[in-house]
Amino acid sequence: MSESHRLQQTPIDEKSRLPYLFVPDDRVLAYLAGKKNYLPNSNVPICDDNHVWHERQLVKNHLDGQGEALRKSRMQFVLRASHNNYHGYYGGPPLPETAPEMYGTLLLQLADYIPPIGLDMRRASPRKRFLDSDQIVRLQQSGEVRPESAGSVRGFVTSHLLSQQVEVSAVNRDLLLSGGDPAYNYEVMGAAFGVMIDQIGESLPQETQAVYRYGYEHRLIHPAAPPSCEMFVLDYMVGNSLADIMPYATALQDQVQSGQ
């Protein structure tokens, strides 16, 4: 394969700017169901459980080291042969140029936005194919597309929210300055929650909100996702337990107490 082919840029969805996923293959579902992942009489795996779109060396210094969260925000279980074909043909998609652009990309991927065109990499030369509605739902719900590292992604989202400059009411500021532990003081937690809502509203690029609405209307994001991007970020930050929101609450409290 020629050098020019190896260096081609991964095609991206024009609407969301997300890279195309692989066309789903039923052999991957068999692997996810716990069936044997090796060829007969071989230790060569059929599937690769760690396909990502951005090479580590390309993102490690991107946006002051925050690019690793982008790399870990989406992975896909794919056939090992397809994985190898991809890396022999593509050099990766373009990187978001700013932190708000990266934030928008992460949110769409966290919402399971599936570009309606996929890459068929089962041959040496890739083909673009439209995904039908069943394939889109499968990629959203089967578990074969998911974040590689939820921790680093949540860390970036939290950091980006905290960077938003919003006016903190005197009441909320006094509560955050009180020194009360948000885990045990509901008033302090409520103050942090109020600031977070304002920061979420400030953080969302209009383009990201528009793409999210489009994805919701055209069923390109997860069926269980809320209708607005703002509601999605709020649900994501609140999470499933108090432990999910605590890193944000304590970091905000430290930020306010240090006078930032």
Give me the helix-helix angle, 150-162 and 99-110, nearest 10°. Answer: 130
What predicted TM-score, i.e. pTM, was given to this entire model? 0.88
**Which residue, among 102, 90, 27, has the nearest Cα to 66 in the 3D structure?**
102
Give me the helix-helix angle, 170-177 and 242-257, nearest 10°. Answer: 100
Mean pLDDT of 83-106: 87
* Beta-carbon count within 10 A of 140 CB: 21
Mean pLDDT of 168-182: 90
Mean pLDDT of 76-92: 85
pLDDT at 15: 95
* Beta-carbon count within 10 A of 152 CB: 17
pLDDT at 214: 98
Q: Give the least confident one: 42-46, 51-55, 116-120, 134-138.
A: 42-46
What torsion do the CA atoms of 181, 187, 193, 194 make, to the nearest 10 degrees?
A: -140
Mean pLDDT of 14-34: 87
pLDDT at 4: 45
Q: Residue 97 has which token pair?
A: 């140029």
- Mapped onto helix, strand or coil, the DSSP state of residue 221 is coil
* 47, pLDDT greater than 90: no
